[in-house]
Amino acid sequence: MAFGGSRFVQPTMTRTVVYAAKGGIAIDIGDILYLDTGDGFAKPLSSKVASGTVNTDQVFVHDNIVGVARSGRIAAQTTDGTVTVETDCIYEAECASQTWVAGALVTAFSSGTAAAGAIQNQKVDTTALTTEAIGVVVANYPSATTSVRCRIYGKAARQVF
């Protein structure tokens, strides 16, 4: 299990929602989650079988993101349960080495392959398109960095895009 709870960099704003979680699917604290409308369960992005096209995957995440997992589940939990999700949070995400400016839009990171695991659970990428955005950068990074502080918005909290 990859504990991502240390990625929250501000105290919770108590914007949490409890979602149903499917038994047998591991969810780590700090995973970005989407709502699988086929079965109604919140799942980590890596459990989605990606389309094979980066932009298509990013639009999917934009349209279905619920937020960041505040609680976790292990794969050995085979019965359905729940997961607590931050729908609006300041989060320190992994990213490809690059510079960032405050206010830049972030989106989910997809490798562009058509497979489960192609969309990463705790990594973001840059985008100029509001149709792909899941958050905004909240600090300046004039030197290349591999982690970026951003505000992630789930669908329930999204105000701008």
pLDDT tens digits, residue range 66-124?
999 999 999 999 999 999 999 999 999 999 999 999 999 999 999 999 999 999 999 99
Distance CA 111, CA 157 (A): 27
- Given a cut of 90, whether residue 157 has pLDDT beyond it is no
At residue 152 the predicted structure's pLDDT band, cuts being 50, 70 and 90, is very high
The predicted model scores a pTM of: 0.89
pLDDT tens digits, residue range 104-113?
999 999 999 9
Contacts of 152 (CB under 8 A, 6+ apart): 32, 65, 67, 68, 86, 88, 89, 91, 93, 106, 134, 135
